[in-house]
Amino acid sequence: MPIKKSTMKKCALLIAVLFFAISCKNQVKNEAVVYSNDFEKNDLQGITNGVIEKFNSTNVLGRYNNGNFSLVLNNLPKHDLVTISFDLYIHDSWDGNKKEPDGPDIWQMVVDGNVFINTTFSNDAFIAGNFTSPQSYPFNYPNNYNNPKTGAYRTDLPSACDTVGPKITSQYKISKTLNHKSSTLQLQCLDKLIQRNAANPKCDESWSVDNITVTTITL
């Protein structure tokens, strides 16, 4: 028995209403910036293992080599999601997925004890289609092999201090939106750098961050 056009129209209307209701349910109701820091005022409140240095005429949090920092935020407003964004600077001769004694050069972002980024970066040169040090970013280590500096926002920034390896700094725009409802948030950034043959490991490769922003989102 054929379906009447009127019945088909009612079904289509019902589907549209349900789709609209589901879409509305997940619409953003409110956004609130709960933390913003460009470190120009040397503000390290809430940060453990914080150190501020000058890089490229601006203050940055870092530099770190086999180090870490932790940012703890308390009394967050009621929310459903949180977006964490910052600039990540990869200084000098990072070797990506290379094995010892040069790597792998791993960097991690951890939120409330959960690892959300576990990756490697490489500042190796890309010459005539060949490179010796692939990186995992923008994906996680160890099962990804991408060209050095893949996903970088800038690759023309000056060296931090390296005088032997690649004399550059790569800048990455990191942004993650996570399910999060707790009134407390802990952001940790850390590295597991390996450079067995470097006389000055921190000068050989290091990292820093800038312009950290944390935004809570209510649906």
pLDDT value at 53 more than 90: yes
Give residue-wise pLDDT tens across range 125-164. 766 556 678 999 999 999 899 999 999 999 999 999 866 6
Helix ranges (DSSP H) in 46-163: none
Query: How does pLDDT run across 60-107, given as a tens digit for each residue?
Result: 999 999 999 999 999 999 999 999 999 999 999 999 999 988 889 999
Per-residue pLDDT at 83: 98
Residue 174, Ramachandran bin (φ over 0: left; ψ between -120 and 50: alpha; else beta):
beta
Averaged pLDDT for residues 107-121? 98
Residue 129's pLDDT is 59
Of the options 1.10.1060, 2.40.50, 2.40.160, 2.60.120, the CATH number for the domain spanning 29-218: 2.60.120
Q: What is the mean pLDDT of residues 111-137?
A: 86
Cβ 105 vs Cβ 120: under 8 Å: yes
Handedness of CA 125, 62, 58, 82 (dihedral sign): positive
DSSP 8-state assignment for residue 107: E
Instruction: Please choose, from the candidates 167, 166, 161, 164, the residue with its C-alpha nearest in 3D space to the C-alpha of residue 198.
Output: 164
Highest mean pLDDT of the ranges 2-6, 13-17, 18-22, 210-214 = 210-214
pLDDT at 109: 98
169-200 tens-digit pLDDT: 999 999 999 999 999 999 999 999 998 888 88
CA pair distance 40, 61, nearest whole angstrom: 10
3-state SS class at 13: helix
pLDDT band at 167 (very low <50, low <70, confident <90, very high): confident
- What pTM, to 2 d.p., does this model score? 0.85
Neighbours of 37 (CB within 10 A): 21
pLDDT band at residue 17 using 50, 70 and 90 as cut-offs:
very low
**Angstrom distance (rounded) from CA 219 to CA 30:** 7
pLDDT for 128: 57
Longest dimension (CA), the chain: 84
